[in-house]
Structure 1
Amino acid sequence: MNYQIELRHLHYFKVLAEELHFRRAAERLFIAQPGLSRQIKQLEEFYQTPLFLRDKRNVSLTNAGVYLKNEVDFLFNHLNSIKTQVEKIAEGKITSLKLGFIGSAVQAILPELLANLKHQQPLIDITLNELSNEIQLEMLLKNELDFGFVRIKETPIGLQSISILTDHFALVVPKSHPLAKTKKVNLQDFKQESFILFSKEYSKSYYELVMSIFQDQGFQPHVALKTVNALSIFNLVAQGIGIAIVPSSLKKGYHTHVDFLELQHIPQRTTLSLLWNQNNRNPGIELLLEILKKICPKES
């Protein structure tokens, strides 16, 4: 073998692994199809294993190819991060941070955290993305996010976490509901109601936790609608479509025509956590964590 693997080989592999079609991949890369085939052959010779399975109609990844694609995706994400950080440093900025969050983080901690971060580093670039728990975890593992505010049962391998706030739950009802002003909530009184819940796409473990509330109460709820957006839930409840169960902290910051009935007597609790990739070398990681330790509220 009289050549060495270069970054372009991995770039060609990445595009072909995404397209799984030599002609389309070659068009994306602006090279001739035989040239792409030659580059892939060199890569397979270098690793001494097939990376693609080919026949006249289909192209698919081998097990080795699947592994390499995951590693190459990580590599190129990291290279993009390096480029971004170098550009920010050249502009006199310490870094840029990409944060994912769920709605309850906005009420619990995020505004204060961002205000302190901007106060210490006025030129820092911050990108915010409201995303479901599951998408945040996927992006964190790929270093496509620097931090994620999530509600999950267990922290995945490769990620680190800090507990921000442990919430009890609250029942959300229209202000016109006959039991809206009740002091002591009995969920049995609501078992004939339609419920609007956060969907499994929001978080599978969170959804299962909420369903365990109903299991303890001995009834299966009629779920009218599912969504991943808190404000949508509140607006639907206000319009009489159903009632909801949400983390109690969500009652802060939303001005909607609903009442929150506290469910402090049930054992279920949900924890908002901050997650990050332990291999993330963004210089802003430690800065944000230092600020968080100073302002993080005590668990309730």
Structure 2
Amino acid sequence: MELRLLRYFVVVAEELHFGRAAQRLAISQPPLSVAIKQLEQELQASLFERNSKEVRMTAAGEHLLGKARQLLALSQQAAQETRDVALGTRGHLRLGFVGSSLYRGLPQALEQFQQTHPQVRVDMLEANSAEQILELQQMRLDMALVHSIQPPETIASQLIMEEPFVVCMPEHHALHASAAVDLAELRNDRLILFSSLVSPTYHQRIYEMCQAHGFAPEVRHEVRHWLSVISLVSLGQGVALVPAALERVGMPRLVFRPLLGSHPSSEMLAMWRRTPANPLVQELLTCLKQAVAEL
């Protein structure tokens, strides 16, 4: 059934007068009568009883009226929601993130985003950088927050923040009272590090930082998440080089100290597909950059 025919039918049913209904619809009466007959033929049911004095609905017409109003309301709702999605005020955003982003402005950005986009549903997936890029390529994510990693050509990226690595050590460590730590002073410590399979870029970066200071680190544990790294440090299992943002975790029995000298930084990047692009990505990016600036 054409929505146009249903709309004509509803107006005639409300007016019970073809002349007044035609005026409401801004058409002449003959095309309106033809449209109602067309609808009746399609439904194989008489919708109105007509005579020279009045128009009355049949039982079939009364049944159709409620259904027709529902269908017209649904069509209007679908049209409005489609416009809202195109404008980025409604929709669904699937967001991937690495654990450290929770301490780099992501919660604050999401709070601001939901305040300005209450009709948008955000689904979140924690995964490592390589996993998120694969999810983007396979269209299971719309946006990813990742560590330093080279994206494929089909993926756009933007640097969100960079910050120094700091030393994370147990509170009883011999260097806990130092204002800053020379990386070479950790040559005899056991290092807790990301698995090279999970984050090869970070694994290689930290290895190279140690090698630049004359030693190859003794790796005690390789884990998948930053919280696992600092949890093991708090249990006295070793030391770690972590992004400065992890100082905000507030885990007990830990001491964070800056490194002396110049070192590579820890980066967080946003990535998304170039096409098809979800308009909500740029909206969340704006909130994220503002949240990072306010940290």
Aligned residues: 213
TM-score, with structure 1 as normaliser = 0.66
Kindly provide the amino acid, as one letter, of the partner of residue 232 in structure 1: S
CA shift for structure 1 position 264: 5.3
CA shift for structure 1 position 212: 0.9
The equivalent of 2:130 in structure 1 is 134
CA shift for structure 1 position 262: 0.9
Residues 1-300 of structure 1 mapped to structure 2, 5 A cutoff: 89=81, 94-263=90-259, 265-297=261-293
Partners in 2 of 1:119 and 1:253 — Cα distance? 25
| Aligned residues of 1:146 and 1:276 also touching (Cα < 8 A) | yes
**4+ residue runs over 6 A deviation:** none
Structure 1 residues 194 and 290 mapped into 2: Cα distance closer, same or farther (>3 Å)? closer
| Aligned residues of 1:173 and 1:243 also touching (Cα < 8 A) | yes
* 1:137-183 Cα shifts (integer Å, max 9, x gaps): 11111111111111124232111111111111111100011211211
Structure 1 residues 179 and 293 mapped into 2: Cα distance closer, same or farther (>3 Å)? closer
What SS class does the counterpart of residue 132 from structure 2 fall into? Answer: helix
| Aligned residues of 1:185 and 1:261 also touching (Cα < 8 A) | yes
Kindly provide the amino acid, as one letter, of the partner of residue 251 in structure 1: E
Structure 2: which 5+ residue stretches go unaligned?
Answer: 1-77
CA shift for structure 1 position 294: 4.1
Partners in 2 of 1:219 and 1:141 — Cα distance? 39
CA shift for structure 1 position 298: 8.5
TM-score, with structure 2 as normaliser = 0.67
Amino-acid identity (%): 26
Kindly provide the amino acid, as one letter, of the partner of residue 105 in structure 1: S
The equivalent of 1:18 in structure 2 is none
Q: CA RMSD in A?
A: 2.4
Structure 1: which 5+ residue stretches go unaligned?
Answer: 1-85
Partners in 2 of 1:206 and 1:267 — Cα distance? 13
